[in-house]
Amino acid sequence: MKGNWSIVRQVFQRRFSTLRSSIPSSRSSALSSPVRSLISAPNSIARQSLFTASTIRASRELNFSNTSLLHRRSFCSEAKGENAFVVLKSEEEFATAMSKAQDGSLPSIFYFTAAWCGPCRFISPVILKLSNQYDVTTYKVDIDEGGLSTTMSKSNITAVPTLQLFKGGSKKAEIVGADVAKLTNLMEELYK
């Protein structure tokens, strides 16, 4: 184990010796004290200082400090416009949408999702396309929304994405996971 740390120390000595020679003296005064200690004495590498040093080096080389974050992309792929999902953010909105689905007035899908869920982002455009194709109202429910905690327990949602398909006032099917083929077949069978 001791031999591995000596190899790591040698690698960092080489890296920081090139860093020390590439930083002009006027710029070195702007560096934080842990980084200055790494540059001036590469043999005494502190574990907490490694991340700081590598971050500063990357920001100087790639100029991340001037990068504009005005055009950030959302984690959740939502469509904009009139054919978008109906987003439910409260218990009352969910109860109203569920009563519409259960009275049989219109076919609907409840799409339980999360902003951090990769498969949810994958299947979201497919759900939107199919719901527009079959003229089905799709309600999007974010499981991390604060006002919907009791709704998740009542609906027995254990994984995302979960799709509950309603027709004629009752739940006809439920899909757990991002299975595009199953979703396509079920929607064709139910809503055609």
pTM: 0.58
CA dist., res. 122 & res. 69, Å (int)? 24
Q: What is the pLDDT of residues 54-82, one digit of tens each?
A: 444 443 444 444 444 344 334 444 444 44
As a whole number, mean pLDDT of residues 6-13 equals 64
Question: Could you tell me which residues are beta bridge partners of residue 103?
Answer: none
Each domain of the chain, given as residue ranges in start order, spans: 2-66, 86-191
Active site residues: 117, 120
CATH number for the domain running over 86-191: 3.40.30.10
Residue 166's SS3 state is strand
The confidence band for 44, taking pLDDT boundaries of 50, 70 and 90, is very low
Q: How many residues does the chain have?
A: 192
